Amino acid sequence: MKSTLYSLAAVWVLAAGTLPATAAAADEVNLYSARKEELIKPLLDRFTEETGIRVNLVTGKADALLKRLQSEGRNTPADLLITTDAGRLHRARQAGLTQPVESAELQAAVPATYREPSGHWYGLSLRARPIFYARERVNADELTRYEDLADPKWKGRICIRSSGNIYNQSLVASMIAHGGEAQSEAWARGLVANLARTPKGGDRDQIKAAAAGECDLAVANTYYFGGMLAGKDPAQREAASKMAIIWPNQGDRGTHVNVSGAAVTAHARNRENAIRLLEFLVRPESQSWYAEVNYEYPVRAGVAWSALLDQWGTFKADSLNLGQLGINNAKAVMLMDRAGWK
């Protein structure tokens, strides 16, 4: 996508990752983003083109950006934070790094399930965390729920990331919300007993391991799978082609989902511009771009999915308010530790 407005003066993604602490300006907004530049910049280009408001962008790891906001305190130049996982958004709020936003446009576009009740953060895109299975070795009818992963029949056949991964913590947090700690801990112990290997690597590594026969099942976020199928790496495309999706818990609560989301920072100098950018990111055209380029699902109803997402079929998503993922995070982490989840 052609970009004409991002000059060095318009976008500051510096080697040191710094933004000057300046007074509020009528024509700019400062954004800290845990999304990689290529996964957010085209939308920012469009926003600048439409509004004349330039976006000063700093990208970084999600947890590092939270620590940075904390250390900068009132002196932070950041007006808006974009990060992944409702659990991290909850941490930002608990640390006093965000402020509530009331916007009729945001409330109309983002379902209550995918936003913080008092407006501290709003979901921008939706990702599901289903079960992936090796087509040649597993019958899709053999398991239909996350709970089935604890069945001894899968001993030595499951790959999943570590307990330190926020996506897994949020999955367990959702199970606590639905079934309580005791039931969730029993499940986690059963899952750990069925692992094919000590958890290591990212979501793509779990899918690649299953495709290579190191395990038969993997738990991962769908956008990683989409990136493998549509990416330039032939080895990743081949691995992903050997795998298919099981949408868990379609007969009860639905498949676990999470968001990438945004929050206006507590000390935003350009608050109104930050809200305008946030509203822009949930418009139908922006939501459609997420689905097409990032292989994520729109949070906004009525926005068409990309062709690749359509190939995976529709599914029932868990309707749990995602604020519960952050509320239950500490319980989830302790539970996973007791279960021996490395």
Query: Per-domain residue ranges for the chain?
Result: 28-127+259-304, 128-255+316-338
Kindly give the confidence (pLDDT) of every residue in the chain, 342 residues in length, as a single tens digit, with 9 standing for 90 and above: 333 333 323 333 333 344 444 445 569 999 999 988 888 899 999 999 999 999 999 999 999 999 999 999 999 999 999 999 999 999 999 999 999 999 999 999 999 999 999 999 999 999 999 999 999 999 999 999 999 999 999 999 999 999 999 999 999 999 999 999 999 999 999 999 999 999 999 999 999 999 999 999 999 999 999 999 999 999 999 999 999 999 999 999 999 999 999 999 999 999 999 999 999 999 999 999 888 888 999 999 999 999 999 999 999 999 999 999 999 999 999 999 999 999
Our CA dihedral for 112, 115, 117, 119, rounded to 10 degrees, sits at -130
Specify the pTM: 0.89
d(CA 11, CA 226): 29
Class of domain 128-255+316-338: alpha beta
pLDDT on residue 89: 96
Query: Which residues, 6+ apart, have CB-to-CB distance to 254 below 8 Å?
Result: 315, 316, 317, 318, 319
Task: Provide the CATH topology of domain 28-127+259-304.
Answer: D-Maltodextrin-Binding Protein; domain 2 (3.40.190)
d(CA 304, CA 313): 13
Task: Supply the angle between the helices 222-230 and 203-211 in degrees, to the nearest 10.
Answer: 60
d(CA 31, CA 181): 37
pLDDT on residue 26: 67
Backbone angle region of 167, left / alpha / beta, with phi > 0 → left and psi within -120 to 50 → alpha: alpha
d(CA 44, CA 53): 10
Instruction: Report which of 138, 139, 172 is spatially closest to residue 157, judged by C-alpha positions.
Output: 138
pLDDT on residue 12: 35
Task: Supply the angle between the helices 234-241 and 222-230 in degrees, to the nearest 10.
Answer: 120
d(CA 128, CA 134): 19
